[in-house]
Amino acid sequence: MEKEVRKAVMRGDSSEIRGLLLTDSQIDTVKWVYKKDCATAAELAKLMGVSIQNASGKLNRLYRAGYLERLTVNAKTGGIEHVYRAQEYGA
C-alpha cells in the first residue's frame, strides 16, 4: 500500500491519496473484521448502531480500496449476501 501512496504523491493526485488513506473509524472496522475472520454488513450495522445500507457502504469502500476481500454467498433468507474478510498482506 505504501508503494501506491508514493506513486500518487509523485503524480500529485490528492484524490487518489485520500482514497488510499483510512480514517480512524475505517481502521477500527478493518481491525474488527480481521478479529472476526469474516463479517457481514448486518453484523457491522448492529455493532455500530447504523443501517445495514450504511454499514454495507463502509465495507464496500474498504473492499474497493483493497483493504478487505469480499465473497458472495447464498443468504439464509434466499438472496445473496456479501461476506468480508481482511486482506492478507505478505502471506
- Cα Rg, the chain, nearest whole Å: 14
Q: Cell triple for residue 45?
A: 450495522
Cross-strand partners of 64: none
pTM of the model: 0.74
> What is the pLDDT, as a whole number, of residue 91?
45
> What is the pLDDT, as a whole number, of residue 87?
76
> What is the pLDDT, as a whole number, of residue 23?
84
